[in-house]
A and B are shown apart, each in its own frame.
Chain A
């Protein structure tokens, strides 16, 4: 059964946006996994480009946002670039609003 903290954490992460695309990291599909055990949250997420200075701010932003959720004891954010992010991970409504090409 999914831990009841997962959805509040996911909602809290929506305050973190990708500065370039201007949408939140959850709807952009940057958040690969949220795992919770006894209040300890482990977020696995990605970004568009590994060396970009925005990447570390995204990681710290996710850490901060998740920490604000009541009941969260600790947050560990792990950045990964495997699998690499692609625009087909964006939720369809946001993809349309961003004017993206159709993703096959």
Chain B
């Protein structure tokens, strides 16, 4: 394929995802679903699913609709599925959240809300998995393999979640009850570790090499990283399900998976180092410098995990560990890359059609890095302070950190809106004859 097309709905996914991120931050500020409270408490379930489905999964899906075709140099299987998938995922998430709120007594009891939400989410994610899976399968090399394993992990996560939803409604029988009682860690790790982390790793290989003009990491090298990650997910899903089936303990499965996960993260660090070492572009743009902070947060998550296990305090601090993984590593990387992807796609949409007819700005002319730096710095510092507040069991300090995170995110969203509106492009180049200003929420092409 010589040149892919612009995904029409990627911006729509990003806008929906950022809206859910602001909702998450609001929940944390008002103290609903505090990350350090019981993982199974209804309010925590609301918070966790808003962040994992609403924010991270929607942002990831939007990015993948644009980038899987770039990874494999083949067109997307079906562009037309993207919008119905977003509608189904949004409706499913709203129904699921309402179900959790009913469980917690915040809404009148309505047990059917959770299974309804699960069915809508299964349908929405199925459209995404088939669309992206069939696209990636055409040329499953390097980063595309990470995406395929990530999609398989998403399927496992969704299956566990569906069983839980039916079990919470009392519709899943005794087996459903058993899976619900013991399977939550498997669901969470398959989602955060398999779907979100492995996919983010895969996309980052290509994006980092592309934007820094570094040679791609050799397939043989990145395959080892993927094998470690895939084995960790397989151990969690397969080993965990077997342990539950045979009534055995989960500790051995979790320990082996954690070890494999650490190996995967370490090998990923080695791969990233080789990309940075061999890059031809010495100057690092803001999105790359901020991505480094998310890689540091991933390393911090690994170290914190080892420290908590070795001091036998993991059960007490699992909320802090999950918080650092979700907001330092995953959310930080997604925000940093959104900043770049929005600028790049906005450039293509606005100036691509007039190339050769008139002088055009550069992608970097659409952004104001100096101004954006302070919002990103605010975000990362407050995430790290929030992690410390959780470790120290200081809820008030945690809320302060959540307020500071919100300030950072609102600033970043404001910068992204400015990019979309071309507000930082100098006027002679802003809209050459024939160029059309982009729509804020979708691509016109």
Point out residues on A near B: beta carbons under 8 Å.
15-17, 19-22, 47-66, 68, 79, 87, 98-101, 103
Contacts and interface: CB of A to CB of B under 8 A. Distances in A.
B211 interface: yes
Contacts of A98: 281
Contacts of B282: 99-101
In this complex, the interface size class of chain B, counting residues with CB under 8 Å from chain A, is: 35 or more
B356 A51 contact: no
B344 A20 contact: yes
Nearest to A13: B356
B5 interface: yes
B353 A57 contact: yes
A49 B211 contact: no
Nearest to B66: A53
Contacts of B213: 48, 87, 100
B2 A49 contact: no
B73 interface: yes
Nearest to B139: A51
A52 B72 CA distance: 10
A49 B352 contact: no
Interface string B369-402: 0000000000000000000000000000000000
Given A59-B3, A100-B213, 10 more contacts: A20-B344, A47-B3, A51-B73, A51-B74, A53-B345, A54-B3, A55-B3, A60-B355, A63-B356, A101-B279
Contact of A20 (B5, B345, B360, B363): B363
Nearest to A47: B3
Contact of B357 (A64, A87, A100, A103): A64
Contact of A62 (B279, B344, B345, B356): B356
Contacts of B357: 15, 61, 64-65
B91 to A, nearest CB: 30
A86 B5 CA distance: 24
B221 to A, nearest CB: 19
Interface in B260-295: 279-283
B203 to A, nearest CB: 13
